[in-house]
Structure 1
Amino acid sequence: MTKFASYPSLKDARVLVTGGASGIGADMVRAFAEQGAKIAFLDKDADASQAIAQETGAQFAICDLRDITATQAAIADLGPFDVLVNNAARDDRHNWQDVTPEYWDERLQTNLKHMFFTMQAVAPAMIKAGSGSIINMGSNSWWEAVGGFPAYATAKAAVHGLTRTMARDLGQHRIRVNTVVPGWIMTERQKELWATPEALEAHRQNQCLPDLIDPVYVARIVLFLASDDAAMCTASNFMVEAGSV
């Protein structure tokens, strides 16, 4: 059985996770709750949100993150926060020939735009406190030149630029901003939609490690970056991709 670390600095830490009702986000909510953090999350799936809240004791707000006004209002109601995890995203496949300007804009709203505005919403309280940790979720897909979702890949590539510029702007207040870069994580969504035996075997060949990646391992690196153990880590990428090439 894997023995994971405990982080005393996370006890009673006020943490917000976007997209916390399912997939990687739900594992993050569980992991922070196990550390004794005061965890809250945003999601648009009411049933899944209620289930995770009952399991973990987390607070939540039902929110479409593409609605920036509603998102920032929800953060104001739930906050303030010491930690923000910008997790929410959707890697829907799309053919580059079929992409319309409207679809492109919607994909960037879904996968990038809300990250900046959630940061904008939580930062004033962190500045007042003189510390904070913001963790943005990137993706290894564009590093590997994976095709089939150009709008998603573009949004995820842009996350790295957002992380580094905000790390500079917020660093003077001892607010750290980092990117976690997952590989192909075996969430239920991935298993249902794309994880065929052939695709999994091909992916194993690209990884240095032979095991498929459980969402819990993404949650564990997020815990580290949220904790005081990572006090000197900012503007950086933290890969959880089993050495994919």
Structure 2
Amino acid sequence: MDSYARYPSLEGRHVFISGGASGIGASLVEHFCEQKACVSFIDIDEQAGSLLAQRLQRQGGQVAFTRCDVIDIEALRASIAQAAGAFGPVEVLVNNAARDTRVPLSELDVDTWDDLQATNLRHAVFACQAVFAGMKAAGGGSIINFSSPSFMRRSRDICAYSSAKAATIGLTRTLSRDMGDAGIRVNTVLPGWVITERQKSLWWSAELEQQVLENQSLHQRVKPEDIARMVLFLAADDSQMISAQTFIVDGGLV
């Protein structure tokens, strides 16, 4: 990471990340620790989250993990309150938690639809609500919501997930106005085809990867750290006049 930007404004800043135990989320946790921020993160995977936190703590990171399922809004609120008690008000919120479950339209039922909205959209709304008062008292903050280019690519069998991710952009733009008077910036990041271990195990293939790389303007894998570096910029004071915006990091695929 030494060859990339350092952000002095992030040092000591309290960052709260959902879905931080693996994949892009783990890279976010690692990058913010590298910037000497105080990092609180949650995930449903207690083992992976605990191991990551312990490793970063041994390296000197100010980091704390709490097991939390973001579908449980009361537990999410409690996790944010607990984090604020440990590190002070949340100054950067990264709503990263998501699940890109594929369900053909013919097999989609109401319970699955509701579950995917809760996993991919609802928690972001209430996490923003939970940090608002603390950010306002602190004089401002930065919120980064995660969307997906899947709805732009018209991806198959993913309408519930894509609908939630399209709605996230609307949420960002609306909240940027609702929270702007308090000095809070709200932006959206859309990661491209980042190959996580979950995707490898469920649906990725060498043929699909080759197809994706050929269709990107830049013919190389988009990695978790590519996403993390965009989020660092949006969290730092360097982006202090950027809000209500959408940033796609996908190597030029859409």
Q: TM-score if structure 1 supplies the norm length?
A: 0.98
Match of 2:40 in 1: 40
1:157 equivalent in alignment to 2:166: yes
1:49 counterpart residue number: 49
Match of 2:236 in 1: 227
Q: Which residue of 1 aligns with 2:23?
A: 23
Q: Which residue of 1 aligns with 2:8?
A: 8
Distance 2:25 2:98 in 1: 10
Alignment correspondent of 2:78: 73
Distance between the aligned counterparts of 1:155 and 1:206, measured in 2? 25
TM-superposed CA distance for 1:2, in Å, is 7.8
Q: What is the deviation of 1:191?
A: 2.4
The count of aligned residue pairs is: 245
Matched, 1:112 2:121: yes
Paired residue secondary structure (1:84): strand
Q: Which residue of 1 aligns with 2:190?
A: 181
Q: CA deviation at 1:195?
A: 2.2
1:18-37 per-residue CA deviation (whole Å, 9 max, x = no partner) reads: 00001100000000000000
Gaps of 5+ in 1: none
Could you tell me how far 1:194 is from its partner in structure 2? 2.3
- Between the aligned partners of 2:16 and 2:249, the Cα distance in structure 1 is 21
Moved segments of 4+, more than 3 Å: none
Summarize deviations over 1:159-178 as a string: whole Å, max 9, x none: 00000000011111110000
CA contact under 8 A between 1:66 and 1:110: conserved in structure 2? yes
Q: Secondary structure at the match of 1:143?
A: helix
Match of 2:110 among 84, 101, 104: 101
Cα distance in 1 for partners of 2:33, 2:201 equals 27
The SS at the match of 2:103 is: coil
- 8 Å contact kept, 1:29–1:56: no
Task: For 1:101 and 1:190, locate their aligned partners in 2 and report how far apart those are by CA, in whole Å.
Answer: 25
How far apart, CA to CA, are the structure 2 residues paired with 1:67 and 1:89? 14
Question: Are 1:193 and 2:198 counterparts?
Answer: no
The reply on whether 1:202 has 2:211 as its aligned counterpart is: yes
Match of 1:10, as an amino acid? L
Unmatched segments (≥5 aa) in structure 2:
58-62
Offset, 1:188: 1.8
Kept in 2, the 8 Å contact 1:66–1:109? The answer is yes
Q: Percent sequence identity over matched residues?
A: 47
Q: Secondary structure at the match of 1:64?
A: coil
For 2:188 and 2:79, locate their aligned partners in 1 and report how far apart those are by CA, in whole Å: 24
Matched residue SS, 1:59: strand
**Residue 193 of structure 1, CA deviation:** 2.2
